[in-house]
Amino acid sequence: MNVKITYTVPFNEIPEKLSSIVKQSLTKEFLSDIQYFEVSKSHPEVSLQKLDYLRRVLGSLDLLYQDVAAILAGYQEQLEISKNGEQV
C-alpha cells in the first residue's frame, strides 16, 4: 500500500527541492542494473525476477515523477499569477 506524505517548504525553495527529489530517486546501483541487464540462457527465472524488480521500481518512479510534475505545474501557475500582479 502506498501513502502520500506531505510537508511544507518555502515557495522559493521548490525548484531546488524538486531537483533534489528527482536526483535522489535514481541510485547508481539501479541504473547499473538496467544498463547491464542480461537474459540468462541457463536460468531465465533469475532474469524474470530481475526484470520484475526493475518494472516495480520504474512504476514507483513514475508515481514519484507524477507528483513532482504536479508540484512543478502548481509552482509555474503561481509564478504566472505573481507576474500578473498578485501576491505569492
pTM to 2 decimals? 0.81
Q: Which domain holds residue 77?
A: 15-83
The enclosing H or E element of 45 equals: helix 44-83
Write down the pLDDT at residue 18: 96
Please give the share of the chain, as a percent, with pLDDT higher than 90. Answer: 83
Number of compact structural domains in the chain: 1
Q: Is the pLDDT of residue 30 over 70?
A: yes
Query: Would 68 be classed as within a structural domain?
Result: yes
Query: Would 70 be classed as within a structural domain?
Result: yes
Q: Is the pLDDT of residue 88 over 90?
A: no
Query: Would 5 be classed as within a structural domain?
Result: no
Q: What is the pLDDT of residues 34-47, one digit of tens each?
A: 999 999 999 999 99
Distance, CA of 34 to CA of 28 (rounded, Å): 10
